[in-house]
Structure 1
Amino acid sequence: MKLFILFLAFTALECIPIGDKNIRVDEHLPDQRDVLLTQNEKGEYRVMDLKDVRLQKSASVADIYYYVYTQKNKETPYVVGNNDVSELEFSDFNPKKRTVFIIHGWENDHTSLVNSLVKEALLDTVDVNVIVVDWGSLANRNYFTARFSVRSIGQFVGHFINDITKKYKTSFKNIVMVGHSLGAHVAGAAGANTEQKVDYIVGLDPAAPLFTLHNIDDRLDTTDADFVEVIHTSAGRLGFSSPIGHADYYPNGGASQPGCILDITASCAHSRSYMYFAESIKDKVREFKAYKCDSYAHYKEGKCNGSVSPMGEFTVNKNASGTYYLKTKAKLPYAEDYKNAARQ
């Protein structure tokens, strides 16, 4: 989702993330204006007046489509609607293989860059089923409608996963979810609604606006999968700054990213999360070597405890725990380190 919002006023916000804290502003809503600035994937800006916004907080099966890809059909997906897993019989879906769900965020759909980059990286590297979840009918409305649809969209995806395991006799341990921004929280909601925990979820810069730390029912958290990895690239702006996974990675400190010039809305930094993740899967030479540390300042000073973990990759490091820091380059390839190389 190469876009997002710069809040010019905080109307309808329950809280806003400042650093690692959530500051409540709802007591002051009458004094605020209903305006936000958005940027789409073309770099176009628009101002939205929100005083007449009507929130739609629930979804139906008609709002979700599943685009199924395999190595036999990398470019032309089989499309499933109505949460009907029986339709998978007519596709190249193979229940004996692992299945990766990719879930986009606000103002995106199945054609968005996050889906194509991650899908291509996966299918060029590993023999899996890839299912892109398209909830664009709600994601392309105002941000508030999209945000408050997260839980219901996630419930449908969770039920879809349950149905797959029942009908095709596959294990929840063969299921992986990758979500960007609001899609990370959809993945969390889906994981909260599966009958057993899926193998892992990767949250790519999970959205911060209108989410809180204390309400885990509405966001990604460690109870949603056997393992939850989070990559923070616009922390404290569009993305969560606090660690919310089993292992949380903060490239370049997590708040801004090299190469993102005049990134007013933080959309460039926000999108780096899925670019890094896709590269981590596809690049067999370089890796995003991260160091467990108390803070980015300590990382830069070399005061870490020596524990190292690669960020991302298809086989995530489930032995990782806590917060990790690393540096990246400003241009492709973003990874600085070569595999099996010592830190310079």
Structure 2
Amino acid sequence: MLKIVLLLLLVAACHACRRRTRSVSCGSLGSFPKSGPYRRWRLPKCPGELDFHMYLYTRSNRNDARVITNINIPSVFRRGEKTIFLIHGYKKGNGWFGGMKDAFLAKGDFNVITVYWDSNGRYFRAAPNTRTVGAAVAEMARYLVTQNRISRGKLWCVGHSLGAHACGLAGKKYKFARITGLDPAGPKYSGNEDAGLVARSADFVDVIHTGANFLGIMSPVGHVDFYPNGGKHQPGCHGSMYFKCNVSIL
């Protein structure tokens, strides 16, 4: 009986300790406190807990992904060329990466960096992690510029859903030349825009709203905001087809 009581007290103490934790530290990325627009959010996980990876594609390795980190820049990296980060959203909705990567490489001699992170589980657990994902992308972008691989004016981030806000948060840490938000997520961000993508995240922010009636945000958050079909519902996109269909339209 005494062991059970002691166990319950230990569990209660651990729970109270977690509740009192107001910040998480992620090494070189810094600390992420529960304050400001995040005071009612869960604390984020650090990239190492999110299966976070970045892969580089260029015209010389269109279908041969190369891992890129701030201590390992593959030799195929195109010095001085526009560098585009692609960040997926909720539930690892990265099926659009391949098509968009190919479209960019067909258009120009770019560096395309796809950003993968564990966004599965409950939405309200995934959303806080955009803070650390954005910080990691910003760290990579800053490194590329300080190492004279590219100029800041060559940085572009394209993100879908939660990925749009990760781009925005990256831009707040290290300002990008351009950010494109594809149907930025609404829950936790509507009415709390400072938590994610805003116009000041980049020199130019363009946003396409396609699903504001579901998980998208309706309010304008960029320098230019587009609302195809009113931004709330796209023809043929409904039910289980929502994610796939809306991203395909984009």
Give the alignment's TM-score, normalised by structure 2: 0.77
**More helix by percentage:** 2
**More strand by percentage:** 1
Residue 252 (1) aligns with residue 237 (2)? no
Superposed CA deviations along residues 46-83 of structure 1, whole A, max 9, x for unmatched, are xxxxxxxxx55232346321110001111110013xxx
Residue 225 (1) aligns with residue 213 (2)? no
Taking the aligned partners of 2:113 and 2:179, their CA distance within structure 1 comes to: 14
What RMSD over aligned residues (CA atoms) do the two structures have, in Å?
1.9
Report the equivalent of 2:70.
Answer: 85
Taking the aligned partners of 2:49 and 2:239, their CA distance within structure 1 comes to: 35
Taking the aligned partners of 1:232 and 1:272, their CA distance within structure 2 comes to: 14
Compared CA separation, residues 273 and 100, structure 1 to 2 (3 A): farther
Taking the aligned partners of 1:129 and 1:181, their CA distance within structure 2 comes to: 22
Residue 171 (1) aligns with residue 151 (2)? yes
**How far is the alpha carbon of 1:155 from its aligned partner?**
1.1
Contact 1:178–1:204 (CA<8 Å) still a contact in 2? yes
Paired residue secondary structure (2:217):
coil
Residue 121 (1) aligns with residue 109 (2)? no
Report the equivalent of 2:46.
Answer: 59
Contact 1:192–1:224 (CA<8 Å) still a contact in 2? yes
Q: Could you tell me which amino acid in structure 1 is paired with residue 215 of structure 2?
A: L
Residue 199 of structure 1: which of 172, 177, 181 is its match?
177
**How far is the alpha carbon of 1:113 from its aligned partner?**
1.2
Q: Could you tell me which amino acid in structure 2 is paired with residue 114 of structure 1?
A: W
Paired residue secondary structure (2:60):
coil
Report the equivalent of 1:324.
Answer: none
Contact 2:80–2:151 (CA<8 Å) still a contact in 1? no
Contact 1:233–1:272 (CA<8 Å) still a contact in 2? no
Residue ranges of structure 2 left out of the alignment (5+ in a row): 1-41
Residue ranges of structure 1 left out of the alignment (5+ in a row): 1-54, 278-344
Taking the aligned partners of 2:156 and 2:222, their CA distance within structure 1 comes to: 15
Q: Could you tell me which amino acid in structure 1 is paired with residue 201 of structure 2?
A: D
**How far is the alpha carbon of 1:209 from its aligned partner?**
1.2
Q: What is the aligned-residue identity percentage?
A: 36
**How far is the alpha carbon of 1:215 from its aligned partner?**
4.1
Count residues with an aligned counterpart.
208
Report the equivalent of 1:156.
Answer: 136
Ranges of 4+ aligned residues in structure 1 off by more than 6 Å: none
Give the alignment's TM-score, normalised by structure 1: 0.57
**How far is the alpha carbon of 1:254 from its aligned partner?**
0.9
Report the equivalent of 2:120.
Answer: 140
Q: Could you tell me which amino acid in structure 2 is paired with residue 275 of structure 1?
A: S
Report the equivalent of 2:187.
Answer: 209
Q: Could you tell me which amino acid in structure 1 is paired with residue 177 of structure 2?
A: D
Residue 100 of structure 1: which of 84, 89, 92 is its match?
84
